Structure 1
Amino acid sequence: MNIALLGYGRMGKSIEAIALERNHTIVLKISNATEDFDFSNTDVAIDFSIPTAAVANIKKALDSGVPVISGTTGWLDQYNEVSDYCHSKNGTFLYASNFSLGVNIFFEINKKLSQLMATVDGYSTEIEEIHHTKKLDAPSGTAITLAEQIIENTRYKWWTLEQPFADEIHIEAKRIPEVPGTHKVTYNSDIDSISIKHTAHSRQGFAMGAVIAAEWIKDKKGVFTMRDVLNIG
């Protein structure tokens, strides 16, 4: 499979290494958001660029009839626009806040736990996420996904990085050198605490998941998520 990498930072390089190990070919590597490029001889594009470039990158791939998966966060206020654009082009698009297979299982655990916690009173909810200091956005897309799942199933209405109101989930975003990614959801009461946690040991899990998603999405049409790739639900 011929892969275009839109974004050639540390994640792009990790994806490249795994793609080559799995006998794929990298036909395009874009590191500058202002570069002019085309998708000749490209089967799938993988976008791990920056928030200000992601939407243009995705639309350019869709304009060229190239399936595109994106793991760039920080642009999701335009997600519906991109999804509609994909449908209008009869294209193929997959977004995930986190491509790690383990994190996507963690999402399912978080969803189930939030459903259970909605049946009891006396617990407050908080999320902690820790990433490397070069991560540009806060909170992480993964933390936002966790919060949105909890909001869908409980009394909470929103999340915040600030001091929370009663109907808000507090997300604490920490930036520490060389931390690939840690996410923890905690339910606290006067009696006890319940926590679930996912710790990434390297970027390999994210990169492997992105390549697996690229392999899966080739020759499909529509808008997808990692739940489709993993056949969950």
Structure 2
Amino acid sequence: MSLQEYRERVSRNGVTTSEAIVNNSKYSSSIQFFNSPFLKEILINDKVVNAIVTQGKTSGDKTFLLEPEKSVAAGSVVVISNKNYLVMDFKDEGINEIYPTGTLKVCNNLFPIKQNEMRVLLRDADGNPILDGRGRPQYTVEIVEVTVPCIVDSRYSFTRGEQQIVLAENRIEVVVGYVESENLKLDFEFKMYGDTYKVKNIDYSNVINGEGILIISAERKV
């Protein structure tokens, strides 16, 4: 079939030549994807997903390829071989519409997040509701603390891309997937490596439409 015949055929089907090429490329890529000897199941935000995972520049870095038209947000947690990773970046436009590709960095700790506020009915020692002077039940608010996988570095800053900026003594930077928490704010204190740290800065510049990563700068309490 000549190029002109191909163009006429796709035109009759109401598809432009470029759309047909992209669709054919996606189909071909999908076949190659599922026939890859490196195809494996991974967990992305607790959901099983097929992916092709390759080693990155270091043992803690990986690149993963999803099937065409699949997407995942930066900051998502990926589990591979019982290890937690954070999606640092994901590309799914242009050529990456056919080859959706993301980069991963291994998590080396857990970060405490206080969330899930819950109203709890106050009761006395006998289990009876405690009432106020008008006979109304009294409540308190309990905050449940959970932990999320994170990346901690005590040597270099995450904020300057490929350029390594040395952190000051007693400082660490923590990267977590974006999460809403009223307790995640300046001067919030948390435990890490047996020490207490206080949040000094939270960088939201990598968060778009409620998705992405937070870079938390903290200082050890001496």
Which TM-score tier does this pair reach, normalised by the shorter chain?
under 0.3
Normalising by structure 2, report the TM-score. 0.22
Normalising by structure 1, report the TM-score. 0.21
Identify the structure with the greater helix proportion: 1
Identify the structure with the greater strand proportion: 2
Structure with bigger gyration radius:
2
Q: Which has the higher contact order (CA 8 A, sep 6+)?
A: 1
